Structure 1
Amino acid sequence: MKTAVVLFTRDLRLHDQPALAAACANAEHVVPLFVLDPALLGRSANRDRFLHQALADLRDGLRERGADLVVRRGDTVAETITVARQAEADGIALSHDVTGFATRRQDRLRAEAERHRMSLRLFPGVTVLPPGEVRPGGGSGHYRVFSPYFRAWEAATWRDEVASPRTIRLPPGAERLGGALPDPPAGESPDAAEGGETEGRRRLKNWLRHIDAYDDQHDAMADDDTSRLSAYLRFGCLSPLAVANAARKVGGPGAAAFVRQLCWRDFYYQVTAGFPRIARQPMRPAGDRNWRYDDAHALEAWQTGHTGVPIVDAGMRQLMAEGWMHNRARLITAALLTKHLRLDWRAGQDWFFRWLIDGDVPNNSGNWQWVAGTGNDTRPHRRFNPIRQAQRYDPEGDYVRRYVTELAGVPGADVHQPWRLGDFAKLGYPPPLESHGDEAVWLR
């Protein structure tokens, strides 16, 4: 093959990038391409900023190898075909993705490539194990329960990692194929993480030094003994396979627990491949309860961290400040919205999509459906008592005081005492919202 176009989507890295590695191995010239598609931009200022930072880092890495990143703006399929024709490319390579948008894009791209007599190849790389690689008994469909999927996932043979290309050769005249990368937008969260493979690999290296404590400490909200690698996985700045392999190499209970969380990520990708409407339709229609749509005040209070339940408000304020939220806080905040306020899980999901840098359809939507009782939870009526959760996972109240500044002077675990919630008004903190669930559990 003389020339190949590599379309980057959610795989913004050079290490273990199978589409790029295959193109470099089989083509004389390679055109690395990213298309800024208006259909995807503007949904989250935080993700747009992280994306631009990741693209700038990818561009720097490509330049170090003698190439560059071709950047276009417009419909991804149309722009990719245009670049491929201008470069006289024989084929196009990209990583396989599973969301509804991604599959439609892949189908359109395949049809257009065939029309112009180009090949299109899809490669793994977005997950550890490609969705559909393991299937439940009978060999069709997808796993709906995590535990059997985890057993099959652990027993499966993973592909080999591929190294970063040493050199990448652009075709002659490549400078005419695309424009410059715009400066990163401002974003909304002042304390958001910086995007890019370089930063992601630095964080991974540091995280592996502390992974031993993960099994015991990952739910400790104040200590925050988590990897904070989710945004780098979401944009493919880190290869999920490489992260899993690195953790397995360290070994021990902490690493095993962390790898299990990577399997949860893969689980929701294979769920999404089998149920692409996961962001809008319940997986369990019987669990789609009579949601309330008559309380805009309660929704706004939840969104802005003014519910009067400190652990919930801390989580929501962390979300806005950092574009990220501790996983235990995600469960608690989502449960209060759906199980106690009885507001539609889609309203919460959409708010998370606005702020979360790691927000993607498989994991954000899958976890929201799990908490709401419409998804893959084998106990769909499970309820989280936010006070008990706070007392267990933030026993000294440090997490709450970090983000709920009105309560910064309240000593110790007093921030979690339900009989004190009404007393916090003198500190400028709101009283608890009325529960519309079965019981006002945070007042007990």
Structure 2
Amino acid sequence: MSSALVWFRRDLRDFDHAALYHALKNYQQVFCAFVFDADILDALPRRGDRRVEFIHGCVAELDSALRARGGGLIVRHARARDAIPTLAQGLGVDAVLANRDYEPAAQARDSDVAERLRLLGIGFADFKDQVIFEKAEILTQGGGPFSVFTPYKRAWLKTLTDFHLKSYPVDKYASRLAPPPEGERVPDLATLGFDPTNLAELGITPGMMAGRRLFEDFLKRIGRYKARRDFPAVKGVSYLSVHLRFGTVSIRELARAARDAGGEGADTWLSELVWRDFYFQILWHHPRVAGASFRPEYDRVAWDRDPALFAAWCEGCTGYPIVDAAMRQINHSGYMHNRLRMIVASFLTKDLGIDWREGEAYFAEHLNDFDLAANNGGWQWAASTGCDAQPYFRIFNPVTQSERFDPDGTFIRRYLPELAKVPDKYIHAPWTLPPIDQKLAGCVIGTDYPAPVVDHAKARERTLARFAVVKGAAAESAGEA
């Protein structure tokens, strides 16, 4: 009897799953496994990591769903590059199947696993599942990868057909799922060496069912997405990013729903899914971006090293309310609204003059939805070092951004209660509130809330001078966002 092992990674669902479908279709017996990879977990700085708790919940739900189909998960806590070949050999399978990962470290891991399996006489195959288009599927007319988003999007939409959005049905062959060996269970969080976090308090629920509920709720609002997506105080976005990251939802189903819905809101959201593919293909074709500027000449920019300023940014104590509220949001919840990600990234790099890689690393540690491709792409966009990035002379003004996207200070007050009584007129720049009124509001600047750590106008001039090493800033027409 032919048999296979499906290795689940960032695809924690039992439906529309490419590797699982191909395994069930082509093998008579299919085992399923997940590895809590020690190479990843041992590098985490905190024992209370929301992502580990989220993954653990997803794995437990997936195990239950597979058991209901007659299968189940074999779960290991070990180095994946050791555990998968050992497990495959022990089960006596003919092949291991997985969905493709595009990060350099994952590619190296998979190559190692594939070679170890080959030496054991076991096959290895991987499949496209977490993107619509991958690698070299979308190329310029010259045959190279795109580095500008708009023409990439045009080519993406032109290439898209129903074939690319088709589902991989699991039900038809589900009877071929093999139960795990007797006694196999998902280890609890403590056994993995991790502590519970505030996920439940935050209302963040792991798993496929939770992803489905969020998706269905968003579809009711998708028509208003373009108009509402930039305002962090309103319910305008999908909140699906962590589910996309760990594959409890299907990218094909999401893209298909957006395409079929049509209209300004759905088209705008589909464009965000295209951005996601764009950054994946950038990482695939240019893996060096994981540590260096996409545009190599921008590595000549001399960034400042200022631990005190960086700490103020991390802790939400810069004196700029929209920046501080956003940083307190990520510290409290592991989530940050996309507009705020742009604002705080611009502030770190262009107001504080600190290397984008420091901010990228902070986000990588704290974001529930951390994804190397998107995180790197977003930071390099804000720092003007990446592909199709905002021009270096376009520098977000944190006050005008705040006025535009949180006009009455609702979001700011949610995370900065010390500013609760500051009048709307001054909420975006509370240091301009007269001293007597600061006392009346219970918010004395420099005592109850920090004074600005930098002067934006002066910081802006320093940024233009900093980037002159690359482009000659004096010749450019500067503009404020």
Once the two structures are TM-superposed, the CA of residue 340 in structure 1 deviates from its matched residue by 0.8
How far apart, in 1, do the equivalents of 2:213 and 2:462 lie?
Answer: 44
Is the deviation greater in 148-157 or in 356-365?
Answer: 148-157
Would the alpha carbon gap of residues 118 and 99 (structure 1) be closer, same or farther in structure 2, given more than 3 Å must change?
same
How far apart, in 1, do the equivalents of 2:264 and 2:343 lie?
Answer: 25
Query: In structure 1, the residue corresponding to 2:182 is in which secondary structure?
Result: helix
Residue in structure 1 matched with residue 478 of structure 2 by the alignment: none
Q: Structure 1 residue 136 and structure 2 residue 146: aligned?
A: no
How far apart, in 1, do the equivalents of 2:17 and 2:93 lie?
Answer: 20
Contact 1:98–1:276 (8 Å) recurs in 2: no
Residue in structure 2 matched with residue 267 of structure 1 by the alignment: 278
Residue in structure 1 matched with residue 152 of structure 2 by the alignment: 149
Query: In structure 1, the residue corresponding to 2:287 is in which secondary structure?
Result: coil
Once the two structures are TM-superposed, the CA of residue 53 in structure 1 deviates from its matched residue by 1.1
For structure 1, list consecutive stretches of 5 or more residues without a partner in the other structure: none
Query: In structure 1, the residue corresponding to 2:259 is in which secondary structure?
Result: helix
Q: Superposition pairs for residues 30-49 of structure 1, below 5 Å?
A: 30-41=30-41, 42-43=43-44, 45-49=49-53
Residue in structure 2 matched with residue 292 of structure 1 by the alignment: 304
Give the structure-2-normalised TM-score. Answer: 0.86
Query: How many percent of aligned residue pairs carry the same amino acid?
Result: 37
Contact 1:308–1:429 (8 Å) recurs in 2: yes
Residue in structure 2 matched with residue 246 of structure 1 by the alignment: 257
Once the two structures are TM-superposed, the CA of residue 378 in structure 1 deviates from its matched residue by 4.5
Contact 1:53–1:195 (8 Å) recurs in 2: yes
Query: In structure 2, the residue corresponding to 1:416 is in which secondary structure?
Result: coil
Would the alpha carbon gap of residues 200 and 325 (structure 1) be closer, same or farther in structure 2, given more than 3 Å must change?
same
CA distances 1:19-38 after superposition (whole Å, capped 9, x unpaired): 00111111111111111111
Is the deviation greater in 121-130 or in 42-51?
Answer: 42-51
Query: In structure 2, the residue corresponding to 1:400 is in which secondary structure?
Result: helix
Q: Structure 1 residue 112 and structure 2 residue 123: aligned?
A: no
How far apart, in 2, do the equivalents of 1:68 and 1:368 lie?
Answer: 39
Aligned AA (1:27): Y
Residue in structure 2 matched with residue 313 of structure 1 by the alignment: 324
Would the alpha carbon gap of residues 217 and 173 (structure 1) be closer, same or farther in structure 2, given more than 3 Å must change?
closer
How far apart, in 2, do the equivalents of 1:49 and 1:413 lie?
Answer: 41
Contact 1:200–1:232 (8 Å) recurs in 2: yes
Q: 2:267 aligns with which of 256, 279, 302?
A: 256
Aligned AA (1:251): G
How far apart, in 1, do the equivalents of 2:364 and 2:69 lie?
Answer: 35
Residue in structure 1 matched with residue 419 of structure 2 by the alignment: 407
How far apart, in 1, do the equivalents of 2:248 and 2:50 lie?
Answer: 16
Would the alpha carbon gap of residues 276 and 107 (structure 1) be closer, same or farther in structure 2, given more than 3 Å must change?
same
Q: How many residues align?
A: 438
Max radius of gyration: which structure? 2
Q: Superposition pairs for residues 356-367 of structure 1, below 5 Å?
A: 356-367=367-378
Once the two structures are TM-superposed, the CA of residue 355 in structure 1 deviates from its matched residue by 1.1
Higher helix share: 2
Q: Superposition pairs for residues 189-268 of structure 1, below 5 Å?
A: 191=202, 193-268=204-279
Give the structure-1-normalised TM-score. Answer: 0.93
Query: In structure 2, the residue corresponding to 1:40 is in which secondary structure?
Result: helix
Residue in structure 2 matched with residue 373 of structure 1 by the alignment: 384
RMSD, matched Cα: 2.1
Once the two structures are TM-superposed, the CA of residue 335 in structure 1 deviates from its matched residue by 0.5
Q: 1:394 aligns with which of 393, 402, 406?
A: 406
